[in-house]
Amino acid sequence: MPRNIPLDERIIVALDLPSAAEAKALVKRCESHVRFFKIGLQLFMASWFETVDWLRDRGHRVMLDLKFFDIPETVKLAVEQLNSRGVDFATIHGNDAIVRAAVAARGDMKLLAVTVLTSFGEDDMRAMGMTGSIADLVARRARRALELGCDGVVSSGLEAETLRRDLGGKLLIVTPGIRPGANVRDNSDDQQRIVTAGRAIAAGADHVVVGRPISRAADPIAVIEAMQGEIALLDD
């Protein structure tokens, strides 16, 4: 499904690094090819809004992935803090009241509901005494998030095709757990539900979030170009 998203915005590079200096260095290596970056909890705790503002000043788009989860009033006030920062995507995680509070407080940014973390597997569901499948859980949460006014969801590429088919083109789908090459997970990888960038986009994802395969690569641009090559074939 063509989504008219520029190729340099399809990949969101996750700046999952311990300092602003390291994050900025990675951005400078990647920004010739990518203009969308994610700041998660680790980097935000290290630099607060410094890196957010720096990215915006360089003309880049920002996904702030803090997965807001607290009492509704606290979430509302936290989301309001972002409205003057130029954040493009922010993430929320919680029940109906929490999501409603976040939706009510957002400005122009897109609010994404986290469905199920990509590090969460079927064994985890059974250990928690949960019934059904992860796919069913993701579908229920995504549908409810859309009903409550969220702009989209964060979901594994394994569920993206069903979400796109059932919930239509209005829903933004942002997919982490991206790995290059074959969909092979080694035992050291904490991500369980992984796909390639091309498979995620083919399934209906709008953006893919890529962290370690880029940040730990000897040649990040080579990794980005390979993934963009997969995506470009689908966007043509």
* Active-site residue list: 67
Query: DSSP class of residue 16?
Result: -
Q: What three-state secondary structure class fits 200? A: helix
Contact (CB, 8 A) for 161 and 170: no
Residues 6+ apart with CB under 8 A from 222: none
Provide the CB-side half-sphere exposure for 213 (13 A, CA): 27
Other beta carbons within 10 Å of 143: 15
Question: What is the maximum alpha-carbon separation in the chain?
Answer: 47
CA 203 from centroid of its chain's CA atoms: 15
The sign one gets for the Cα dihedral 191, 20, 37, 76 is positive
User: What phi, psi does 167 have (nearest 5°)?
Assistant: -110, -5
Strand partners, 115: none
